Amino acid sequence: MNVMEANVESQRSTSHRYRLQVRSVPKDGDRLRRYETVDAQSIQTMVHTFYGCIREHPRLGSIFNPRLDGKWDEHLPNMEAFWQSVLLKNGAYKGKPVPAHLRLKEVVSSDYGEWLSVFRPVVRELFVPDLADEIIAVAERIAQSLWLATFGHAGSAPPAELSSQQSEWSGSCW
């Protein structure tokens, strides 16, 4: 499916799943240079791009925006530190993500899948494919762990949408 077909298909879609906007691909090559390594700069770009999309997401924005209104400048460095700790293993993050997510009473089971439906295409756009796959696998394990802590019970398994799958969309939210 080419970019035009994807755009038409996304306009026809009756799904309420969040879709990123398609950007046209220049004739002389890829629309942007992707990161080939993970470092503090690429993590900062990932975090800011991802949360820019989250703020516009119809469901997730309604969770994050009221809670973080006027506090995004504090929250984003915390998320950068979290992802640096996870991806660079540098211990930059000192918080406790499970209790923080347990306090979010408005979160429902499907929100973790929605989170990944935004995260996957952002990462696929910013990083080379093999590296994007690795980052997405880590994010899926985090989403599964948070889902189990929030909604799981003895013998439960996380929903299928929290497991690795190729994103069918590789657009942009800006």
Predicted pLDDT of residue 101: 87
Q: Which string of DSSP letters, residue by residue, matches 101-156?
A: HHT-TT--TTHHHHHHHHHHHHHHHHB-HHHHHHHHHHHHHHHHHHHHHHH--TT-
Mean pLDDT by 10 residues, the chain (174 residues): 38 38 49 87 97 95 93 95 96 91 89 95 95 96 94 88 63 49
Determine the pLDDT at residue 104.
Answer: 85
pLDDT given for residue 174 in this prediction: 42
Interatomic CA distance for residues 167 and 6, integer angstroms: 13
Sign for the CA dihedral angle at 167, 144, 92, 75 comes to positive
Q: What is the pLDDT of residue 14?
A: 35
Q: What is the pLDDT of residue 135?
A: 97
Q: What's the pLDDT score for residue 30?
A: 52
What class does CATH assign to 35-162?
A: mainly alpha
